[in-house]
Amino acid sequence: MSAPNTDPERQVKRHRGPLFGMAFAGLAALLAFALLILWLSSEPEEETLEDPQILSAPGATLPEE
């Protein structure tokens, strides 16, 4: 059974805002996904060893140079 009072033109006017909102949200999600893929696929920067980290246990002393 269908609804008794259907007016497609009036329904289009009433739903225009939410439909534009959903389209905008979908496009924003696609843009965010594309930016994520580009960021993950980019080359990492060269790391320099000018100041290397020294790994030690808590309370351990550093070796004398």
Q: Give the model confidence (pLDDT) of 3-57 as tens digits.
A: 777 888 888 888 899 999 999 999 999 999 999 999 988 877 766 666 556 666 6
CB within 8 Å of 56: residues ≥ 6 apart: 62
The answer to whether 39 touches 32, Cβ cutoff 8 Å, is no
d(CA 61, CA 31): 50
pLDDT at 34: 97
pLDDT at 48: 63
- Is the full-model pTM beyond 0.75? no
**The dihedral sign for the CA sequence 19, 25, 31, 36:** negative
Tokens of 8: 């497609």
Looking at the chain, list the stretches that DSSP marks H as alpha helix, in order from N- to C-terminal side. Answer: 8-41
Look-up of token digits 């905008």: 24
